[in-house]
Amino acid sequence: MIRYRTVKKEAAAETEFQRSRFIGYIAHAASREAAEDYVRRIRTEHRQATHCVPAYIVGEKMELMWTSDDGEPQGTSGPPILQMLEREGLTNVVCVVVRYYGGTKLGTGGLVRAYTQTAKEALEAAGIREVRERTILTVHVPYAILGKLQNLEGEQPFTIGEIVYGEDVKITLQFETRYLERIEGVLSDLNNGMPRVLERRDLLF
């Protein structure tokens, strides 16, 4: 199950519009505090910039959205960045576009295009990933079914992780959480009953 979409990695992109230099920065941010820390960092790195325009969306259901024009004409910089992130269905993401004024006014439409394009190029450099629920299940199984499990790895929606050999086998399976009942059924069928579960961890990947 996809929980949300966000960026794969932190990235930056630089471009120029009518002699003004624009640098877009984008990163994952799991909380408002993380997003604001990132904005402060970029502003500190670009103290001489004319504008540092931030936008972020936080929460699995995009509960918090915030932006600022940072001195640019109202609605020409921050809101277009935020709208672009929202259109892409992204959350837990922060973007800052830095501008060094080059002496030529861009006008309202020019500013919207410049900030939107710079943010989009940063996003393209970062890439998009889908965050899904995954389960890591560690069970004890008899040696008799180990080979059968290994043969099923390509057919069933799980991957085999660590295998520890002892009196029986401790094996770790990884899969999307939505397949939990299916994997438990496979294990029960092979083992004539659900094997002993040593550990279950539910994570986001």
Categorize the per-residue pLDDT at 142 as very low, low, confident or very high, splitting at 50, 70 and 90: very high
pLDDT tens figures, 8-46? 999 999 999 999 999 999 999 999 999 999 999 999 999
Distances (CA, A) of 75 to 26, 44, 103, 122: 20, 24, 21, 20
Confidence of residue 2 (pLDDT cuts 50, 70, 90): confident
Task: State the average pLDDT over residues 172-194.
Answer: 94
Angle at Cα 162 formed by Cα 8 and Cα 127, nearest 5°? Answer: 5
Query: What tens digit of pLDDT does each residue of 58-76 get?
Result: 999 999 999 999 999 999 9
Sorted by where each starts, the structural domains of the chain and their CATH numbers stand as: 2-126 (3.30.230.30), 131-204 (3.30.70.240)
Give the pairing type, strands 93-100 and 128-141: unpaired
108-128 tens-digit pLDDT = 999 999 999 999 999 999 999
Name the pTM for this structure. Answer: 0.80
Q: Report the b/e string of 56-73 with b at 16+ CB within 10 A.
A: bbbeeebeeebbbbbebe
Residue 79: its H or E element: helix 78-87
Percent of the chain whose predicted confidence (pLDDT) is above 70: 100
Rounded to an integer, the average pLDDT of 160-174 is 95
**Which band of pLDDT confidence, cut at 50, 70 and 90, is reported for residue 1?**
confident
Residue 6: its pLDDT value, please?
Answer: 98
86-104 mean pLDDT: 97
CA distances to 2, 31, 94, 95, 203 from 91, in Å: 13, 10, 8, 11, 18
Burial of 110 (0-12, 13-18, 19+ CB in 10 A): middle
Indicate the pLDDT class of residue 199, thresholds 50, 70 and 90: very high
pLDDT of residue 171: 96
Q: What is the pLDDT of residue 200?
A: 93
Q: Is the per-residue pLDDT at 3 higher than 80?
A: yes
Give residue 55's pLDDT band: very low, low, confident or very high (50, 70, 90): very high
Within a 13 Å sphere around the CA of 124, how many CA atoms are in the beta-carbon half? Answer: 8
Q: What is the mean pLDDT of the chain?
A: 96
For 189, the token pair is: 């069928």
DSSP 107-170: HHHHHHHHHHHHHHHHHHHH-EEEEEEEEEEEEEE-HHHHHHHHHHTTTSS-EEEEEEESSSEE
Pairwise CA distance, residues 172 & 111, whole Å: 53
CB 23 within 8 A of CB 14: yes
